Amino acid sequence: MLPIKTKMVVDMELQEAKDAVLQLIKDKEKIESTLQALKELLDSNILQNQIDMDESLVDSEGYPRQDIDVYQVRHARHKIICLRNDHKALMKKIEEGLHKVHALAEGSKAQDSVTPNVSDSLETETLEPFLRVNLVSPGSPAEIAGIQVEDLILEFGSIHYRNFKSLTDIGKLVENSRYKVINLKIKRGSNVIVLSLTPRPWVGKGLLGCNVIPLEIVER
């Protein structure tokens, strides 16, 4: 049996890895926002001339064009090139971070199966799954939290099978919990694990990046 202290260290490392990935994603979203603003600058109509990344900034005689702000466009182009490189580097770090999160999550799950908490086990026996995960988008808050397709949800924050009425309940809880941690109790195979999910805007749709469907009684 592994000591509780070892489990705590693994959980701390897992949370730190999640926080690091979340920060990287925030940095990525900031870069994407800046890139969009710069693109709109180049795409904007400057004296009826559309400017992109490749259009010449000099006239036929080799002089700077008078119909555009040459300095502004050059600065925007240079900034876009730099930000694209930064974005590429961040995407690589995010990918590496997600791999680390998944590895630590699997390690934590393995230790949970070795050192089960008796009170948690007794409590779980009184719970029944009421939702099934049928979609998890790459890079989403759900994936970062460790949620996987076919996970069965026993508890979603304060919602469980006894008080669950419809997916509207889940939607309201998620919307009211932006940037706040929601604890999920999930049944995965024969294991029951607890995950921390933080709803927030990301590059995809919604605040979670996953889809759940209600379980019929015969499926439980």
Mean pLDDT of 152-165: 91
Pick left, alpha or beta for residue 190 (phi over 0 → left; psi -120 to 50 → alpha; otherwise beta).
Answer: alpha
What whole-number distance in Å separates Cα of residue 204 and Cα of residue 9?
32
Handedness of CA 19, 104, 213, 125 (dihedral sign): negative
The secondary structure of 62-107 as a DSSP string is SSBPSSS-HHHHHHHHHHHHHHHHHHHHHHHHHHHHHHHHHHHHHH
Containing 110, the helix (H) or strand (E) segment is helix 70-114
Mean pLDDT of 149-164: 92
Q: Is the pLDDT of residue 3 over 80?
A: no
* 30-59 pLDDT per residue, tens: 888 888 887 776 666 443 345 555 566 666
* 55-83 pLDDT per residue, tens: 666 666 666 666 666 677 777 778 888 88
pTM for this model (two decimals): 0.48
Distance of CA 5 to the CA centre of its chain: 29
CA angle, residues 128, 152, 206, in degrees to nearest 5:
120
Q: Give residue 162's pLDDT band: very low, low, confident or very high (50, 70, 90).
A: confident
Residue 118 has a pLDDT of: 38
Check if the beta carbon of residue 186 is closer than 8 Å to that of residue 151: yes
Paired tokens of 50: 């559309």
Q: Is 212 helix (H, G, I), strand (E, B) or coil?
A: strand
Check if the beta carbon of residue 143 is closer than 8 Å to that of residue 136: yes
Residue 133 has a pLDDT of: 95
Q: Is the pLDDT of residue 220 over 50?
A: no
Residue 107 has a pLDDT of: 67
